Every structure is written in structure tokens, then in C-alpha cells.
Amino acid sequence: QVQLVESGGGLVQAGGSLRLSCAPSGRTFSVYIMAWFRQAPGKEREFVAAIRWSGGSVFYADSVKGRFTITRDYAENTMYLQMNSLKPEDTAVYYCAASRSNTDPYDRDEYHYWGQGTLVTVSS
């Protein structure tokens, strides 16, 4: 099993920045891909960004390209999502996810482990 703990959410004005963190623990050697998804009220959970844990290939949703950056720090065993130029439509609960499979990073059904979520609210 892998446990995921997110942190870093909060309230920010439009145009501002936030950094989310996700620290995996447990059988982390089994993780191939880690990602961020988000879910706004009344909407489905959607892909935001993903990173292959070894190799570091990254993937982004079109809606966040150029504004969000996903990284991982081996020494800290932590994944980050730097969010800049935030918009009100970025308001959502952000979830950290991890997959044991080296597969489609965009498909939420491919992820085996999920964090509890952290709320990001962007005011206009």
C-alpha cells in the first residue's frame, strides 16, 4: 500500500500563486506515475498534471499548460505542483494520485492510490 498526504491548499486572489505538496509513504518503490487531479463542485474529477517518478517525463492538461509546473524531489520523496497565474476556474479540491502501472497518465482509472484532497480557492 501507498499512502499519500497532500498539503498547500488555501485561498488566493486571481493572478496569485500556490504550491501543493504530496508526500508518498509505504511501498513507494511500486509507484511509476504520480499525478494531480482536481474536482470542482458539481463536476467530474479531471486530470491536471502527471510525472513519471523515475525519468521525470511530465504531462499537463491544456487548461494549465504554461501556468502550472509539476516536479518531484527524490531527496525529499515529495511531489510538487507549482500553480501560477491562478484563475477562479482553478477553484477545486486537488487530489494527489499514484499508479503502480506505467500506463496512460491522463486516465484517472489507472491510478491505484489517492490522497484525501486539499482545497484551492481562487477569488476574483
Ramachandran angles phi, psi of 8, nearest 5°: 110, -5
pLDDT at 123 over 90: yes
Q: Rounded to an integer, what distance in angstroms lies between the CA atom of residue 117 and that of residue 84? A: 19
Label residue 110 by pLDDT band (50, 70, 90): very high
pLDDT above 90 coverage of the chain, percent: 81
How do strand 78-83 and strand 46-52 relate by DSSP bridges?
A: unpaired
Q: Rounded to an integer, what distance in angstroms lies between the CA atom of residue 50 and that of residue 85? A: 19
